[in-house]
Amino acid sequence: MARKMGFYGVIAYVLYGFAVYWYLFHFADSSLPFEFQGSRADPATFLNGRELMLSEEYSKVRNLLFFLSTPFEWLFYFLILLLGLSKAFKKWGEETAKNKYGQTAIYLIWLSFFAYIATFPLSYISYTLSKTYNISTQSFASWMKDELIDFWINYAMMFVIVVVLYWLMNKFKRFWWLFAWMLSVPFTLFIMFLQPVVIDPLYNDFSPLKNKELESKILDIARQANIPAEHVFEVDMAEKTNALNAYVAGIGSNSRIVLWDTTLNRLNDDQILFIMAHEMAHYVEKHLYIGIAGYLILSLFGLYFVSRLMNWAIKQWGKEFKLQYPGDLRSLPLFLMFLSMIMFAASPVSNLVSRYQETRADRYAIEMTENTDAAISAFQELTKAGLSQVNPPLLVKIFRYGHPTMLERISRLEDYEVEKRNEQEDEY
């Protein structure tokens, strides 16, 4: 029976893969609606023929990789259970270590190692793809170093979470999910607080803005929004990518606006000020806190559903999964699989909230800078540098886009310009 289930799982994944491929490459239409053709949102007006073709190709493959990788994770955990590997990892832990912590550590190292090996091909393809299209400029060694840092940070966090989680599962058989959630609140806040000062610097170098002339302009608008100067940083990304970006990270005294140096190198001052004003909106309107609150609410429901699903799955297929009760460490792949499924299912909602915040930030930025030409050309540069799709297929937008599409962002700026002009005419 276990073998049969594994077989069906693989078949289901392959069929899903074909369906996604068909959707992205044959069914979905990412051409521009008629009324936008020739507008400033039309990529044909700011990309050359080669860039147009590359951006379509590159986006399609990237979207395919995105839709393949999360369900691949589910398949991996499913097979780890069915093939008895989870049981074996636990046994290896018990054979090598005396105390519970050591056993958990060893179980986790095996699980993480297998997961890494299984998902490596997809991440490697994704890296080489971005290198082929000249988005990533990172050497293999540097990429691998980032991968290793990822691996160990995830491992360390996972260790803490799993020790506490399984203790709770055994102590509170019915309500472990509630206690786990309660503990996850301070834990999440603590990690968010540490992230920009402890975790992010492991990957890249952060510094105050290097171009002093530009810095004074940026800090000038930051002051208008009451953002202290020591909260604005630039990060050294040029060695890794040609893409442009900026973001807000951290909470409390560690909150900061970070501009990628690629953005600073590639855009002119007016364009940078627009991007900066956009990030300031996130900072001022505390979008990160709203995001965290939303995430915590979601995870309360998520953990509840995971606990129900685990009980149900173990009751149905305990024999095939080699599991008798949820509190057994061997059930971790089941926990991770269901959690990942629920997060994926909820991602359209979190993306929707995020797209709303991004729209607000764009609006704030254009009202502050009032330079639509700079704003629109900044978005055009962003599109060009990342070879991104201006008008992605609907499912891609729903599951992948935390930002509005460039078509929406640029045409809103054009609308703003018209709105502004009409207002001025009214005044005369």
Residue whose structure tokens are 């992010």: 200
User: Which CB atom, from 335 or from 364, has the smaller least distance to Zn ion?
Assistant: 364
Kindly tell me which of 111 and 277 has the beta carbon lying closer to Zn ion.
277
Tell me if 278 is assigned to a ligand binding site.
yes
Of 76-84, 266-274, 357-365, 419-427, the segment contacting Zn ion by CB under 5 A is 357-365
Using the contact rule CB under 5 A, the part of the chain among 1-9, 202-210, 292-300, 351-359 near Zn ion is 351-359
Which residue, among 21, 124, 48, has the nearest Cα to 383 in the 3D structure?
48
Grouping H, G, I as helix, E, B as strand and the rest as coil, residue 232 is strand
CB of 34 vs Zn ion, minimal distance in Å: 29
Strands 232-235 and 246-249: unpaired
Q: Identify the DSSP state of 235.
A: E
Enumerate residues 361-420 that contact Zn ion by CB under 5 A.
361
Is 362 marked active-site? Answer: yes
Catalytic residue among 73, 234, 328, 362: 362
Inter-residue contact 118 to 38 (CB < 8 Å): no
- Write each residue from 309 to 348 as x if it is in contact with Zn ion (CB under 5 A), else as -, in one continuous string: ----------------------------------------
Choice among 261, 279, 381, 408 that is catalytic: 279
Q: Which residues, 67 to 126, sit near Zn ion by CB under 5 A?
A: none
Closer Cβ to Zn ion, 200 or 358, answer by number: 358
Cα–Cα distance, 83 to 10 (Å, whole number): 13
Burial class (CB within 10 angstroms; exposed 0-12, middle 13-18, buried 19+) of 118: middle
Coil/strand/helix, residue 247: strand
Stretch that binds Zn ion, among 109-117, 131-139, 157-165, 353-361 (CB under 5 A): 353-361
The nearest distance, CB 351 to Zn ion, in angstroms, is 13
- Distance of closest approach, residue 165 Cβ to Zn ion, in angstroms: 33
The window from 5-13, 45-53, 110-118, 350-358 that contacts Zn ion (CB under 5 A) reads: 350-358
282 is in an annotated binding site: yes
Active site residue 279: yes
Give min distance, CB of 192 to Zn ion, in A. Answer: 17
Question: Cα dihedral angle (144, 148, 149, 150), rounded to 10 degrees?
Answer: 100
Which tokens belong to 204? 């890249």
Q: Supply angle C-alpha 267, 268, 272, rounded to 5.
A: 70
- Residue 408: C-alpha distances to residues 190, 259, 267, 350, 397 (Å): 35, 23, 21, 18, 11
Closest CA to 255 of 218, 292, 220, 213: 292
Residue 282: CB minimum distance to Zn ion, A: 5
Active site residue ranges: 279, 362
Binding residues: 278, 282, 358
Binding site for Zn ion (CB under 5 A): 358, 361
Binding residues for Zn(2+): 278, 282, 358
